[in-house]
A and B are shown apart, each in its own frame.
Chain A
Amino acid sequence: GEDVEQSLFLSVREGDSSVINCTYTDSSSTYLYWYKQEPGAGLQLLTYIFSNMDMKQDQRLTVLLNKKDKHLSLRIADTQTGDSAIYFCQSSRGKLIFGQGTELSVKP
């Protein structure tokens, strides 16, 4: 069946770049999304990429999509302590599949 996988933890120092990776199996996904979830809260859409794009940049966020390898990444430049949260990738083609979430810890 369809599956989305992420590494569970990432720890970086403040000011460094963070790269969160995601692999998916449904090659027909139209859009791929990145969400941020802070403790006890719902999900906030950070960015998305259309499946015919390779890269999308939005301020400190850069999304890279490798369709051949079905690999999606989110790079956060100049990571701040406020970026500490759980990040989910999601694929969609009708059905909405979330990855397990990557817990990002930013140390001062």
Chain B
Amino acid sequence: GAVVSQHPSWVICKSGTSVKIECRSLDFQATTMFWYRQFPKQSLMLMATSNEGSKATYEQGVEKDKFLINHASLTLSTLTVTSAHPEDSSFYICSARDDRGTSGRRSYNEQFFGPGTRLTVL
């Protein structure tokens, strides 16, 4: 199957600093990438959807100025948590999908998930 990586896998930062998380599709081109947030023992909450070369679409209640998303290429999307605070501590997971018809993966709209990034804000 397709592989999606995230970097870093975990990060600890001080309150007020910014943290950038990278999501890369390693062996396919991702026309769409998704960013999720997961609290302990809870489900994944979709934060935003990004398409390569265009602005991300944020879910209701997600601050676009706080969670900056850039999908600069077909293999890389970044999530920057600006001025992080302890309440931003969470597990952030990205997923990637190739929506183009020729890839074969579009047949069932499969997303491929990254391994997640654990963010702890002190």
Contacts and interface: CB of A to CB of B under 8 A. Distances in A.
B42 A100 contact: yes
Contacts of B116: 40-42
Contacts of A99: 43
Interface centre among B6, B34, B113 (most CB of A within 10 A): B113
A36 to B, nearest CB: 11
Interface in B83-122: 91, 93, 95, 108-116, 118
Contacts of B113: 35, 42-45
A88 interface: yes
A101 B91 CA distance: 15
A96 B34 contact: yes
Given A98-B43, A100-B42, A100-B43, A42 B110 contact: no
Contacts of B115: 41-42
B74 interface: no
Interface string A40-80: 11111100101000000000000000000000000000000
Interface string B38-56: 0001111010000000000
Contact of A31 (B1, B108, B118): B108
Given A45-B112, A98-B43, A101-B43, 19 more contacts: A30-B109, A31-B109, A35-B113, A42-B4, A42-B93, A42-B114, A43-B44, A43-B93, A43-B95, A44-B113, A45-B1, A45-B110, A45-B113, A88-B43, A88-B44, A95-B46, A98-B44, A99-B43, A100-B42
